[in-house]
Amino acid sequence: MFQKLKDHIARFVEIDEKDYAEVLEYFTIINVSKKQNLLTEGKICKSNYFVSKGCLRMFFINDKGIEQTIQFALENWWLADYTSFSSQQPSGFYIQAVEKCEIITLDFSRQEELLQRFPQMERYFRLIHQRAHSAFQFRIKFLYDLSREELYNDFSRSFPEFVQRIPQYLLASYLGFTPEYLSEIRNKRIS
């Protein structure tokens, strides 16, 4: 059940085979239904989530009552409200399953114990966070540099699996479009 996580860790750090059994004891597997919330605004993000199967999204609800998706996580991606998680303060975000999911969780106190006991896991999470931070920087750059149409075209070229799996209204939310505008762009590409 933990093979995907074990493989993911092995891509970034080396852990002795005998230590893996102990490392994996810190994690818990949960099954999540489509549209089930793992986190709601105002609650503390108590876990870090690794997607073994399915897709999660993080979003907030703006002043107009519209959901604004800021991040997705497919298989082998981590997701949490890291501000809430690291400070153990209430979150301004929701984390929700886009599809039925199998999630591997690591709660805050268990993560602290894990990082103390296995320093190579500290390195693993640092490398994961560096990659995530870099992706956010490029996302912000693209939001400023590209036209809306270029943004969609670049995204669909770079992440075709998202375009195939994510409902159009969620993709529009992530890109900062209305679903109608996204339909216009997609129709232009087809014609």
pLDDT in tens, 130-178: 999 998 898 889 888 988 889 888 888 988 888 888 999 999 999 988 8
Decide if 56 contacts 42 (C-beta within 8 A): no
Q: How confident is the model at residue 190 (pLDDT cuts 50, 70, 90)?
A: low
Q: Global pTM?
A: 0.91
Q: Please state, in angstroms and rounded to a whole number, the distance separating the CA atoms of residues 86 and 20.
A: 24
- Residue 157 included in any domain: no
Q: Please state, in angstroms and rounded to a whole number, the distance separating the CA atoms of residues 181 and 186.
A: 9
- Residue 139 included in any domain: no
Decide if 149 contacts 185 (C-beta within 8 A): yes
Number of domains forming the structure of the chain: 1
How many beta carbons lie within 10 A of that of residue 11, not counting itself?
9
CATH number of the domain that 51 lies in? 2.60.120.10
Angle at CA of residue 16, ends 78 and 131, nearest 5°: 25
- Residue 188 included in any domain: no
**Residue 108: partners with Cβ closer than 8 Å, 6 or more residues away:** 46, 47, 48, 85, 88
Decide if 90 contacts 44 (C-beta within 8 A): yes
| Residues 102-124: tens digit of each pLDDT | 999 999 999 999 999 999 999 99
- Residue 155 included in any domain: no
- Residue 190 included in any domain: no
- Residue 95 included in any domain: yes
Owning domain of residue 65? 3-117
Q: Please state, in angstroms and rounded to a whole number, the distance separating the CA atoms of residues 27 and 46.
A: 13
Query: What is the per-residue pLDDT for 134?
Result: 92
Query: What is the per-residue pLDDT for 148?
Result: 86
Strand order in the sheet with 94-97: 37-39, 94-97, 56-61, 67-73
- Residue 186 included in any domain: no
- Residue 167 included in any domain: no
State the sign of the Cα–Cα–Cα–Cα dihedral 166, 182, 186, 157: negative
